Amino acid sequence: MHQVLDMGINLLHVNQHQADHNREHFDSWGVTCLNLMSGPGAGKTSLLEKTLAALADQLRLAVIEGDMTTQLDAERLRRYGIPVIAINTGRACHLDAAMVAGGLHQLEALLDVRQLDLILVENVGNLVCPAEFEVGEHAKVALLSVTEGEDKPLKYPIMFREADCLLITKVDLVPVLEIDLERMQANIRQVNPTVPIFCLSAKTGVGLDAWLNWIREQLSLRSCRP
């Protein structure tokens, strides 16, 4: 018979302690941090490419890129001439606060982080775990691709409930899919009635301005705090 050893350690509590510590750093540096989360293939990296292309000449940016094994996405983002820290999680299906703290230490070795305006964290593609592990971010951004179907907010509610911003991506594919955007948004509203929802396509550029304006609003909110 196997015995369960109770170590008396709440992993989420330990993670939250580190996340709070990370946020204290962001606040003291005057840097806003956004955590992008989604299932695999929802378009986080493509969206970041468009975001960096639009904002790199206006804001001082850095990216912490989470992936299980490769640096493929990090290499795509480095083409935009901004600092990108790649974190390989191994078997972990999410970034946690300690991993992001390690990424911040690497950033500090490269530059004066106080000169940054915005740090974008691209979490590992997973619809469950990333939402449960805070990393110190000021806001969580969840992506839902139209290719995933209208039911995902109801089947995987935690991420959509925790989101501070919801992006419905790949809307250029709606004409060739049997997808009901109104139903998808209604399902999101069932789990998160007040989250701002933006429908966009990184491929065509539709809806990107609304997303970029939301980022600017987040930066403005941080800068207005005492």
The 10s digit of each residue's pLDDT in 94-134 is: 999 999 999 999 999 999 999 999 999 999 999 999 999 99
Q: How far apart are CA 125 and CA 129, in angstroms?
A: 9
What's the confidence (pLDDT) of residue 178? Answer: 87
pLDDT surpasses 50 at 43 = yes
What's the confidence (pLDDT) of residue 1? Answer: 45
Quote the tokens at residue 119: 């740090």
Burial class (CB in 10 A: 0-12, 13-18, 19+), 63: buried
Read off the pLDDT of residues 63-73 as tens digits, 9 standing for 90 and up. Answer: 999 999 999 99
Read off the pLDDT of residues 2-28 as tens digits, 9 standing for 90 and up. Answer: 444 444 457 789 999 999 999 999 999
Q: Which band of pLDDT confidence, cut at 50, 70 and 90, is reported for residue 223?
A: confident
Determine what percent of the chain is predicted with pLDDT higher than 70: 94
Fold entry, domain 16-217: Rossmann fold (3.40.50)
Neighbours of 168 (CB within 10 A): 24
pLDDT surpasses 50 at 226 = no
Read off the pLDDT of residues 157-179 as tens digits, 9 standing for 90 and up. Answer: 999 999 999 999 999 999 999 89
